[in-house]
Amino acid sequence: MRHGALVYLGAFFALALSWTGFVLTPQMQVGQMVATNTVPAGARYPVARPGLAQQGLQVYRANGCAYCHSQQVWQQGTVFDVMLTDGGTNQPGVVAALQAVMPRLSRPEALQLLEGLPKPVLRGVSREEAESAVKKLTTSGAKATLWIEAVGPDLARGWGKRRSVPEDFLYDYPVLLGAQRVGPDLADVGVRQPDVGWHLRHLYAPASVVTGSVMPGYPYLFEKRRVVGAGSADALALSGDHAPEVGYEVVPKPEAKALAAYLVSLRADAPLFTAPFSVGASGGPAAPATNAAPTAGGGVP
């Protein structure tokens, strides 16, 4: 072979370059990652899972949950909103300030806006506009806050409040990002549905809690047995077609309990420096707190 050394060197550098880009650089960037702090509260994030939930990760892996569920939320952009949280006592002044902030707002509309706070006053404006509006409103005696909101199709579905960042997976081994979304994203399913009992019923018979679910049941994680005495405290509260025959009860095996504990521990909802958003007053524009049962929008579990 002619130019053997040249071919060898060319191949070597081509491979070395991709190794540098795909292995070495990410390792330098996030390989030494440690727990970080939330912004602005300063709490530790992430918190290591309890042991049962840590075992649940292996059950999640063993049952192939990651083939249909992702754990990565995509964010399209970030917008600034102005949230009016309290009208204060100086109503004429606040109405005047509202009209200064929203020039096309009539007086009755402004008075209507002051009912049932907190409400967004401006949405999707620049930081300067939002800050000056907040200043005008607080000067008049109302309470307004600058609201930073992450937006995107995933977030509009209620799958979280921000994008996923490497910190979310710090204590996951292996990291089960998932690539397909036959079911909804589970990055913050523990926030949407914190009820362990719901998760157990859902794992046993998905259609018992979500109508029209395409998820298969995992009855082998449960034991159907004859009720002895007062019955087990762990027995699932099933009803209708999904309930066992009279005299029988469905009790979760340790694997099912671990998996449910793991699902509840998935709470990627902390505001971080790398993925900032505003946490605050209830009724904000962000996703509602509990929406795990994907009833609206034809979602499947």
Partner 1 sequence: MSVEMRRPAQPATEGREEPTPQGAVPMWLFILLFVALFWGMNYFDRHGAWFNGRVYAPYRSLAELQMHQPPTGGINLERGRAVYESVCALCHGVDGKGKPGQAPPLAGAEWVLGPVNRLVRIPLAGLTGPIEVNGQQWNLAMPAMGAALSDEDLAAVLSYMRTSWGNKGTEVTAEQVGAVRKEIGNRTQPFTAAELLTVQ
Kindly list the residues in this chain that would bind partner 1 in the complex (CB under 8 A). 25, 28-30, 39-40, 75-78, 127, 131, 135, 138-141, 143, 146, 148, 163, 165, 271, 273-278
Question: Minimum Å distance from CB 280 to partner 1?
Answer: 9
Residue whose tokens read 């469905």: 250
- For residue 251, the surrounding DSSP H or E stretch is strand 248-252
Q: Which residues are 78's β-sheet partners?
A: 150
Report the residue number, 39 or 52, with the smaller CB distance to partner 1.
39
Q: How far is the CB of 43 from partner 1 (least distance, A)?
A: 14
Task: Tell me the HSE value of 93 on the side-chain side, using a 13 A CA sphere.
Answer: 12
Nearer to partner 1, 106 or 139 (CB): 139
Paired tokens of 117: 């706070």
191, 227, 222: which is closest to 206 by C-alpha? Answer: 222
The distance of closest approach from Cβ of residue 95 to partner 1 in the complex, given in angstroms and rounded to an integer, is: 15
Minimum distance, C-beta of residue 194 to partner 1, in the bound complex (Å): 25
- Per the listing, tokens 């994680």 go with 221
Instruction: State the DSSP code for 201.
Output: H
> What is the closest distance, in whole angstroms, from the C-beta atom of residue 39 to partner 1 in the complex?
6
Around Cβ 163, how many Cβ atoms within 10 Å?
A: 21
- Rounded CA-CA distance 174/280 in Å is 33
Which residue's CB is nearer to partner 1, number 18 or number 25? Answer: 25
Rg (CA), the chain: 25
What is the rounded CA–CA span in Å between residue 136 and residue 93? 10
Find the shortest distance in angstroms from Cβ 107 to partner 1: 21
Nearer CB in complex with partner 1: 150/260: 150
**Closer Cβ to partner 1, 39 or 100, answer by number:** 39
Pick the closer one to partner 1 by CB: 56 or 271. 271
d(CA 65, CA 202): 13
